[in-house]
Amino acid sequence: MNNRFFVDSDKLSEKALKKKHKLETDPSVRTNHMEYMPGMEQINSDVCEKVISQMKSFDYSVYTEKDVKKALEHDTCSIDDFKALLSPAAEPFLEEMAQKASVETSKHFGNTVYMFTPLYIANYCENYCVYCGFNCYNDIHRMKLNMEQIEKEMKIIAKSGMEEILLLTGESRSMSDVHYIGEACKLARKYFRMVGLEIYPVNTDEYRYLHECGADYVTVFQETYDSDKYETLHLMGHKRVWPYRFDAQERALRGGMRGVAFSALLGLSDFRKDALASALHVYYLQRKYPYAEMSLSCPRLRPIINNDKINPLDVGEKQLCQVLCAYRIFLPFVGITVSSRESADFRNGIVKIAATKVSAGVSTGIGDHESKYSGKEQDEAAGDEQFEINDNRSLNKMYNDIEDEGLQPVLNDYLYV
């Protein structure tokens, strides 16, 4: 993916245009992406060093057919076996990988598929990430729901039967501060059994506060584990600080969160190396915090407002399937989520092989669940979406389709005592 920027420049002020152009063309004006900003907590952890050293030494071109066959024969998948399964040499063995992955999924998860719905409560953002529809230089309709509006959205979602919700914001502390997110968590606890967060990374004490407000787990996308590539894609804002983002899940666990989820956005950089790093991030933290629930997502790039040409770099459905099967074989106990970025056909197939969780009734816009669920015309005040979804099935449709595949859809399996 080249380093282009996707914004309607005619609607930016002259001052903003100059700053945007300077950020794009002059790396010297950008802050150091490896240096912490004021207020960012630094923790003492060796996980990052382990993950990145493995990723940098990963030469997938050296793996052969023999290496792949050996990896598939082993009862336990080692790191080197996992590398072989991610390599191009494994592509002709996709059917064998799918069969082995399916066995592991069935062994540890039975025939269940978990379901959830995301709720975007704000789309203000202070970052300049070139691939994201929420980026601060993209001319979109911004919106932040108040508590009354959030509760209205939650009631609509809960009425559909959904019991797990994922709350999302743009990355703006000034517009969506931790207290605001905490109040949203308290509301969510009234209507849902499980509450997840996908927000900007925060410090340990802030994760502890959000957990006390009702949040169960935290999802953070590293986007890409290649820090050099990361620097060219995140030109401004707190998200630009690569190491602070990397340690977010560990801070969340130290803050008491029950679970954490990991992901790279496949297509931003070398997807095989990003897939390796994502899984190893889980692998090393799993050994450090064995009580925690951990999961992987596997999203690919999707078009955004003002640019419909964003597509994943070298990551077709075949490659995505390879990554998901390799994840399952290497990390048999870990949950795997496949989002509505992918097609209904792909998701129907992959839940029979490796995935254990899917979203349903999805909207990536702000304040438009009423129109999504009831068929009413969308409120003109609704905020614009983060990216285009590919699978827009309702909860009922998704539930029935999963049952038709011979699987058991699960809305919740966690009880508070």
Cβ-contact 367, 145 below 8 angstroms = yes
- Give the distance from CA 179 to its chain's centroid: 23
Q: pLDDT (tens digit, 9 = 90+) per residue, 229-244?
A: 999 999 999 999 999 9
Q: pLDDT (tens digit, 9 = 90+) per residue, 382-409?
A: 555 545 667 888 889 999 999 999 999 9
The pair of three-digit structure tokens given for residue 41, joined into one six-digit string: 């907590």
Residue spans per domain, the chain = 9-410
pLDDT reported for residue 1: 32
| C-alpha to C-alpha distance for 203 and 162, rounded to whole angstroms | 30
Over the range 369-405, which residues count as b (16 or more CB within 10 Å of their CB) and which as e?
Answer: bbbbbeeeeeeeebbbbbbbbbbebebeebbebbeee
CATH topology of domain 9-410: TIM Barrel (3.20.20)
DSSP-derived letter for residue 263 is: E
Q: Name the nearest CA neighbour of 316 among 281, 343, 276.
A: 343
Burial class (CB in 10 A: 0-12, 13-18, 19+), 314: exposed
Task: Say which residue the tokens 């590398």 belong to.
Answer: 83
Q: pLDDT (tens digit, 9 = 90+) per residue, 313-367?
A: 678 899 999 999 999 999 999 999 998 888 889 999 999 999 999 988 877 677 7
